[in-house]
Amino acid sequence: MIEVESITKRYGSLVAIKDVSFSVEKGEIVGFLGPNGAGKTTTLKIITCYMPPTEGTVKVDGIDCLENSLEVRKRLGYLPESVPLYREMTVKRFLKFAAESKGVNGKKKEKEIDRVMDTCGLSEVKNRIIGHLSKGYRQRVGIAQALINDPPILIFDEPTIGLDPSQIIEIRQLIKDLGEEKTIILSSHILPEVSQVCQKVIIINRGKVIATETPANLTSQLQKTTRIILRVKSDSEPVDSIIEKLKGIPGVMNITREHQEDSLVIETDQTKDLRPVISRTVVENNWDLLEIKLHDFSLEDIFLELVTKEEEAA
């Protein structure tokens, strides 16, 4: 659906992205991640034909972005990080303007406006002035303009930035629903959001792609140890003594204290699950077992490890 091949973008002597390549298949929801200044927005602007690459090619649905940018734009719905809204217009008037700009006219225009307002939950505020709406509703208007003319591909750049928790949940669910029928690229700094919505992630740093995989595959590649969260309490033994006894269990590699005084993080090798052995040790020593669970390797852990390795290499 989207093929990015060896694109580079230079602004004079500054190289914003260099030799970036990746692909997005039809029906995928892909998270596009990276630190500030990594080149995410530049890459998205090239894909959406807002600017050309200095080198390389981008094809959307088999169409070259340089050779036939108008055809590419018909297949894309784009929500930039700063949503370009005319705040003095009503919601419906703005969506009419967006539809006309995309060449949607006549009876189809009214049907299309009603469809996107219904999809984005805007019907009740269609006659409200955009500047009087909450940030969450303004984001919905931005998504609605991207959906006009029913493009098969949607590109969202930081769609939940600046929203409160309830608004984030609403927009996240909307993106999930859209992903049932669309191909979506989602750029976001909120990594738990990406892990809940996206099937694959592309991580970019210093203008280069450093990973393209599913979160599960990245976890299996990067996680060298298993972490167990253990909370115990003993009236007769201090925490240091408990740690020394737990270190004697074969397979335990390291133990660190969490913020809570009775909470420990036990790192073990991945050959077997040591929770049964650790539980027996707790019982045999008459300690109170408050909690024992595996610590999942999150997308945040993956992101930090990959970016840190890249920074160290640089």
> Could you read off the pLDDT of 238-252 as tens digits, one per residue?
888 998 999 999 999
Q: What is the DSSP string of the chain?
A: -EEEEEEEEEETTEEEEEEEEEEE-TT-EEEEE--TTSSHHHHHHHHTTSS--SEEEEEETTEETTT-HHHHHHTEEEE-SS----TTSBHHHHHHHHHHHTT--HHHHHHHHHHHHHHTT-GGGTTSBGGGS-HHHHHHHHHHHHHTT--SEEEEESTTTT--HHHHHHHHHHHHHHTTTSEEEEE-S-HHHHHHH-SEEEEEETTEEEEEE-HHHHHHHH--SEEEEEEEE-SSS-HHHHHHHHHTSTTEEEEEE-SSTTEEEEEE-TTS--HHHHHHHHHHTT-EEEEEEEE---HHHHHHHHHHHHHHH-
> Tokens representing 184?
């979506």
What's the pTM value of the predicted model, to 2 decimals?
A: 0.79
Query: What's the pLDDT tens digit per position in 181-199?
Result: 899 999 887 777 788 888 8
Choice between 224 and 210, residue whose per-residue pLDDT is larger:
210
Query: What's the pLDDT tens digit per position in 101-131?
Result: 999 988 899 999 999 999 999 999 999 999 9
Average pLDDT over residues 206-233: 83
Q: What domains are defined for the chain?
A: 2-215 (3.40.50.300), 224-296 (3.30.70.920)
pLDDT at 142: 93
